[in-house]
Chain A
Amino acid sequence: MGTNWFSAPAPVTRRVRGYFAPVNRSAQSPVLFDAAEQGGFTLDSPPAPWVSLGWIQEFTRKTTSKASSVLTGIPAATLEQVRETLEAQVSLQFLSWTKLTMALATGSQHMNLLAPASGATAAADGAQAIAAVTPQSGSTATSIVLSSEDAARFTPGSIISVDADYSGQTGFVGVPVSGAYVRQALTDVDYIRRVTFNVALVSGVSSAGLALAEPLPGGAPAPGAKVQAVTGFVDREGGSFYQEWSALFVMEGSQGERMFFHYPRLQTLCGAEEVAVPLDNKNKGGQARVLLKGQYLALPVTDPLDGERVLCYRSFLPSPHALV
C-alpha cells in the first residue's frame, strides 16, 4: 500500500492561540507539553491542565542568549563557541480581558475585588468583604451546593471566588495557581480569596446553591474552601511578586500542520501595560480596542532527556502527506 505526497511550502497561519498551565511554585515544577502525545487536541478544548487564553496577536519571541568565541592561533580564529548566558523573551497582546489574561499581563499580584460589607471603609484593593459562605458536600467544579440562606446572597451574573480562609501562613498561597507570595503574616482572613485564580461566573441561583457558567480552574471546592462574591479585579504597579506560568502557543497552518512554542516557565518581565488599537483605521481618534500587553522572561528547566538546561521547546507537526 503506497501513498502520495507533496512538497509543503512554509506554513501559512492566521492567528496564534495561547494556553496557560499553573507552575507549582513551591516545588518549582512546571507543566510539560508533549506534542507527540497531545499535539492533535482541538484548539477549543486543550488537554488538562491547560487552559485557553484565547487568541493572541503580536506574538513575538526573541532569544537574548549570548555566546562567545574561544580563540586560538595568530591571527586568532574561532576554535569553538560557548554559550555564556541563556535568556529568551516573549511578548504578545491578549485579545480578551479575563481573570487569567489580566493576571498574566500584570507585573505583580492580581486581586479579586471582593463584594464589600455594608459601610466598610473604602480601600484601593477592596474594602472589608461580606463574610464568606461555606460550600456543602456534593459541590463540584460547576455547581456549588449552599444552604438556601447562603444561596440567596448571590445573583445570576455575579462572579465568585472560591478558596480557603487565610490563617496566618507564609509562602505561596492560592489554589490551583499561586496568586501571591506572603512574606509576613497578614490579618485579612479573606486574603487568599482576594488573590486566588479560582473564580467563575454564576449562571444560575436556586435554593440548593449556585450553577456556574464555567468550571472552577481548581475543580471541586477543596475541604475548607469558602465562597465570596467578586465585583471585579484590581492589580497594582509595584510589589515584589512575579507571576509564573507554563505557556503553550499554537499556530495552525493552512494545510493542517501545527507549530507549538512551549515555554515551561514564563515570568512577567514588565508592569501592566495596554495597547489601544483603533477599530477603524480611517478614524484613529474614534473607538479603540484596548488590548492587554504581556512581556515575559523565559526561565530554564532541566530536560531529563540529557540534562541540558533549556528555555523553550519548538515542536512541528507536519501536514499529512507533506515531504519532510
Chain B
Amino acid sequence: MQNAKDSFYMALRTRLVATNPERTILLRGTVRPGILVEEAEAPFSQLPNDVFVLRWLGLGADMDLGSTMTAEECEIVYQTCGTQSFGGLDRGRLLSEMDEELVGMLAPFYTPKVNYTTTPPSAMLTQVFWDEPGFGAVVVQRDRLSRSAKVMVYSYQEQGE
C-alpha cells in the first residue's frame, strides 16, 4: 500500500511542477515543489500556506479478487492568506488558482505504480488509479481561506508487497 501512496504523491508532485513551477516551499532547508505528505513530515502546529498537504485517511481492501484491491482515501488540504502586496485581498483568487491546479494535477486519473524505496526507483506492474475529487466548502478563519478535497485512490497489491 505504501508504494501506491508514494506513487500518487509523486505523480501529483510531478504534475504540479509542470503546471506551476513557482509553487514551492522551503522545508528542512530545501526548496521543494509546493506539495507534501503530512505523515512524512514533522508535525505542524499550523499547516503551511499556499502548498498542498496530502493526508491519508480511510482504508479498505477487497480480497476476493485475483489480486487484492485496496482503496485509500486521501484528503488534500490547502489554504492561503493572499499576498502581502495586495493586503490579502487576493486570497479568493489564490484559492481559486489552487483549486484549478489541483484539478489539473489529478488528471489523468492514473499513474504507474513505482517502488520508491529502491535506488533507482523501480517500476512495478500495475497502475494506481483514482476517482474525481470531492471538494469541501471553503473554511474562513480570519484572513485565511482553506479548502480540502477528498480522493479515493485504488491500487492492486503485487507479489512481494
B127 touches A6 (CB 8 A): no
B110 touches A9 (CB 8 A): no
Q: How far is the CA of A6 from the CA of B67 in the complex (A)?
A: 7
**Per-residue 0/1 for A254-291: is the Cβ within 8 Å of any B Cβ (1 yes, 0 no)?**
11100000000000000000000000000000000000
Interface of A is mostly: loop
CB-nearest residue of chain B relative to A254? B129
Q: Which residues of B contact A323 (CB under 8 A)?
A: 66
Q: Which residues of A contact B65 (CB under 8 A)?
A: 9-10
Residue in contact with B66 in the complex, picked from A8, A256, A320, CB distance below 8 Å: A8
With an 8 Å Cβ cutoff, the count of chain A residues facing the other chain is 16
Q: Is B78 an interface residue (CB 8 A)?
A: no
A14 touches B67 (CB 8 A): no
Residue in contact with B67 in the complex, picked from A4, A7, A320, CB distance below 8 Å: A7
Q: How far is the CA of A319 from the CA of B125 in the complex (A)?
A: 9
Interfacial residues of chain B within 67-116, with CB under 8 A of chain A in the complex: 67, 69, 109-110
B154 touches A4 (CB 8 A): no
A9 touches B125 (CB 8 A): no
**Per-residue 0/1 for B123-134: is the Cβ within 8 Å of any A Cβ (1 yes, 0 no)?**
001110100000
Residue in contact with A9 in the complex, picked from B109, B127, B156, B158, CB distance below 8 Å: B156
Q: Is B2 an interface residue (CB 8 A)?
A: no
CB-nearest residue of chain A relative to B131? A14
CB-nearest residue of chain B relative to A322? B125
Give chain A's interface residues, CB within 8 Å of chain B. 4-10, 12, 14, 254-256, 319-321, 323
* Sample (14) of A-B pairs whose CB atoms are under 8 Å apart: A4-B159, A6-B125, A6-B158, A7-B66, A8-B66, A8-B156, A9-B66, A9-B67, A12-B154, A254-B110, A254-B154, A255-B126, A319-B127, A320-B125
